[in-house]
Amino acid sequence: MKKLINDPANVIADALHGLAAAHPELRVDFENRVIVRGDAPVRGKVGLVSGGGSGHEPLHGGFVGPGMLDAACAGEVFTSPVPDQMVAATQAVDGGAGVLHIVKNYTGDIMNFELAAEMVAADSGTEVATVVIDDDVAVQDSLYTAGRRGVGATVLVEKIAGAAAEEGRPLAEVAEVAGKVNAYARSMGLALTSCTVPAAGRPTFDLPDDQMEVGIGIHGEPGRRRVPVAPANEIAEMLVSPILTDLDFTGGDGVICFVNGMGATPLIELYVMFHEVNQLLAKNGIPVARSLVGPYITSLDMAGCSVTLLKADDELLRLWDAPVNTPALRRGV
């Protein structure tokens, strides 16, 4: 194992200290491993909280700031945060307008966020709404889920719901926008290599050099099938076709197309993939209205990519274009 770390047991704590030093505009609660925007709580604004296992950076902590999340909880690598972390995050961002929990559909995340919402309601009466992200079309059930996994759409939900919250919309409307994004987004991923969890020191799964896993999960969960390594145009077809089969993306105002890197794939290859995906969408009469390309929801050092498509309308595009100022996504400021 070759990694830029000290003690594998201290990776998350060391990374949080680095994040705090690099981004003094944020507050980091080291005890609870919670990252909070510096001006939280914002009075009269719905607070947005998300979180999950570490190893997917910049998700979620890299998306804390004006225009996206108010707080994020960092669990152990590929392990859900505990309810006490979620309670601390929720209390830190409660500005009196309620708090929205954005939860990827993994069993531990669902259970712990649900318990945290109950604890906060009982303790302070804070109104908490929840949206569950389940955009992965690869498999119906997985090692860590009942139902579809929450993957790339999480980034889009955090951005678009974050913009709605910045407008001062009430909790019910912000939750409705978040649910709308999830309902109209679909994703599919692929791995060229495994990833290595620092504490384990060895690859999570074995993937021969001449094969790739289609439909991989962000924790290395099995996908649909293993196939021989193929050119980018064929890979794009493998990822896009199941998405277009699952939801009708024609009509409306085009799509937001998100080509995501899994951690070890260089940007040059992601742009090759975006080119191929864009061509496929054009052949199917689906215009790309907005795009996002880069490693935004990763799986440590896994090589590979995922494609997320969001069927857009005027409202979603306007919220997508709204200013955002976070460590990992910044524009219009």
- For this structure, is 60 an active site residue? no
How many Å apart are CA 149 and CA 151, to the nearest integer? 6
User: Distance from first CA to last CA of the chain, Å, rounded?
Assistant: 40
Which residue has tokens 């009509």? Answer: 251
CB count in 10 Å sphere of residue 5: 13
CA angle 245–150–247, rounded 5-degree value:
20
The answer to whether the beta carbons of residues 95 and 44 sit under 8 Å apart is: yes
Q: Which of 56, 60, 101, 275 is catalytic?
A: 56
CA 77 from centroid of its chain's CA atoms: 15
- For this structure, is 101 an active site residue? no
Strands (E), 31-146: 34-37, 47-54, 71-77, 99-104, 128-133
Mapping DSSP to helix (H, G, I), strand (E, B) and coil, where does residue 151 land? coil
Q: Which of 60, 101, 219, 275 is catalytic?
A: 219
Query: Which residues are designated catalytic?
Result: 56, 219
